[in-house]
Amino acid sequence: MLDVGWDWEKLTFELPDEVKGLICAIPISTLGGGLDKLAWSGSPNGSFDVKSAYGIAMKSSNATVFSVSWIWKIDLLPKVRLFLWLCAHNSIGVKVCLGRRGVVQDEVCPVCCNGSEAILHALRDFSHLKHVWNQLGVTASNHEFWHVNLVDWLSLNVRKNDKLHGSGTPWKIVFPFVIWIIWKSRNDIVFNRKGQSPKLVLDIVYQAKEYLHCVATPRLQTRRVLRSIRWERLEHGWRKLNVEGACNELHGLVGCGGVVRNEDGQWVAGFSKRIGITSSFAVEL
């Protein structure tokens, strides 16, 4: 580029006039003295940012884009909700997830030593867990439950309104507690060398019930009552006296006043008084 325009002589080929016209119409920054500079095309100001780079990378890859933002809208304990989110993103500490990140080399389940420990193995398919799920009412013939992929499995179960047999607690509340308590139990076995808790199912039912009655139900029953504060009309022959005190916090000076009105709200009598220095509590008295 020259001071006065584009140096077409540098081009080894001829451009059509209309293309030259388009090029000439591009405004050139005067800040850099006309010199070339690198600019990031992903952002309007030419500066690199990770957000636009991520967007470009996602567009160019054939990765399946899935959204599990519905997890944040579920009525759950925050720690359980976060656990669901981590599960949906294959980010809990089961051997398969750790193996993918290069943290461990063997992916064998540390609890049953029978097959690799994927998330569904640790939370659903491990043979001892089938008994737990059965006790909670999931039958062996429930194809939808036992054969869907991880995200569909989470999504289907946290939306089910069916009541847990014998407890009246909706399945969508019980299910998150099941996988949360199974996960904690698995960690106790692996890290604290504890055995499988015989009270697992009872713990699940109690915790789900507690959540339902102490958190979910009171939240649903909360009703906002709007009460307007205003002067109410009196019965015939009555007068109303309203008094108010005020206090200047800086100097401690206080005063009070009052007004007497009749049944129609018309002023009958009134007073105001300077009290001196005292507290706002005293002046209200």
Residue nearest to Zn ion (CB): 109
Number of residues that bind Zn ion (CB under 5 A): 4
In the complex with Zn ion, which residue's Cβ is closer, 111 or 148? Answer: 111
132 binds Zn ion (CB under 5 A): no
In whole angstroms, the minimum distance from the beta carbon of 89 to Zn ion comes to: 21
Among 96, 109, 204, 208, binds Zn ion (CB under 5 A): 109
In the complex with Zn ion, which residue's Cβ is closer, 109 or 154? Answer: 109
Tell me the window of 22-30, 101-109, 135-143, 202-210 that interacts with Zn ion (CB under 5 A).
101-109
Single-letter code of the amino acid located at 120: L
Tell me the window of 74-82, 92-100, 126-134, 267-275 that interacts with Zn ion (CB under 5 A).
126-134
111 binds Zn ion (CB under 5 A): yes
In whole angstroms, the minimum distance from the beta carbon of 57 to Zn ion comes to: 35
HEC-encoded secondary structure of the chain? CECCECCHHHCCCCCCHHHHHHHHCCCCCCCCCCCCCCCCCCCCCCCCCHHHHHHHHHHHCCCCCCCCHHHHHCCCCHHHHHHHHHHHCCCCCCHHHHHHCCCCCCCECCCCCCCECCHHHHHHHCHHHHHHHHHCCCCCCCHHHHHCCHHHHHHHHCCCCCECCCCCCEHHHHHHHHHHHHHHHHHHHHHHCCCCCCCHHHHHHHHHHHHHHHHHHHHHHCCCCCCCCCCCCCCCCCCEEEEEEEECCCCCEEEEEEEEECCCCCEEEEEEEEEEECCHHHHHC
151 binds Zn ion (CB under 5 A): no
Tell me the window of 67-75, 110-118, 133-141, 265-273 that interacts with Zn ion (CB under 5 A).
110-118
Looking from the CA of 125 toward its CB, the CA atoms found within 13 Å total: 16
Among 84, 118, 126, 178, binds Zn ion (CB under 5 A): 126
In the complex with Zn ion, which residue's Cβ is closer, 74 or 189? Answer: 189
In whole angstroms, the minimum distance from the beta carbon of 145 to Zn ion comes to: 18
In whole angstroms, the minimum distance from the beta carbon of 104 to Zn ion comes to: 15
In the complex with Zn ion, which residue's Cβ is closer, 123 or 173? Answer: 123
Strand partners, 246: 255
112 binds Zn ion (CB under 5 A): yes
User: Can you say whether residue 208 is alpha, beta or left, with left for phi > 0 and alpha for psi between -120 and 50 degrees?
Assistant: alpha
In whole angstroms, the minimum distance from the beta carbon of 120 to Zn ion comes to: 11
In whole angstroms, the minimum distance from the beta carbon of 133 to Zn ion comes to: 14
Q: Are 195 and 189 in contact (CB under 8 A)?
A: yes
In whole angstroms, the minimum distance from the beta carbon of 140 to Zn ion comes to: 18
In the complex with Zn ion, which residue's Cβ is closer, 75 or 107? Answer: 107
Applying CB under 5 A, the residues found at the interface with Zn ion are 109, 111-112, 126
